[in-house]
Amino acid sequence: MTIAVKRVYEPPEPDDGTRVLVDRLWPRGVSKGRAHLDRWCKEVAPSTELRHWFHHEPDRFAEFERRYRAELAGNPEVAELAALGAGDARLTLLYSARDTEHNQALVLRDVLRGYLDDTASGSDA
């Protein structure tokens, strides 16, 4: 299983595998053709309220991550998205934020990895 994270503004690469946009809003300045998406999973993006509260302020990232993980815990779309990254498949999560160190795609990647690890070991996710 490989789950990569990259900005939607970066050019697609052959080894991206399944490309999934994980933003609630469509990224500015990117046409649907240029995005080269396989899916747009806005259902796994942070809620509008959480997104507005976070406002991409790095000092709020730890609390953002805690709240976002809580949102994802009750989201049935997580299992569907995790299935795209199972086995030998490659999944690339795309996001539009400028900050490459404090964004929802990084949190989601870690949640998906944990979900896949739990599923592989037979634990309840």
Q: Average pLDDT of 89-103?
A: 95
At residue 120, the pLDDT reads 63
The pTM (predicted TM-score) of the whole model is: 0.90
* Residue 92: strand pairing partners: 4, 19
- C-alpha–C-alpha distance, residues 70 and 90, integer Å: 25
Tens digits of residue pLDDT in 21-31: 999 999 999 99
Q: Is residue 2's pLDDT more than 80?
A: yes
**Which is it for the CA torsion 36, 7, 64, 47, positive or negative?**
negative
115 Cβ contact partners less than 8 Å away, ≥ 6 residues apart: 78, 79, 82, 125
At residue 83, the pLDDT reads 86
Q: Is residue 125's pLDDT more than 50?
A: no
Q: Which amino acid is it at 87?
A: G
Tens digits of residue pLDDT in 51-87: 999 999 999 999 999 999 999 998 999 998 988 877 7
Please state which of the ranges 5-9, 20-24, 30-34 shows the lowest mean pLDDT. 30-34
Which residue in this structure is represented by tokens 């805690």?
66
At residue 112, the pLDDT reads 94
Domain boundaries defined on the chain: 2-119
Q: Is residue 117's pLDDT more than 80?
A: no
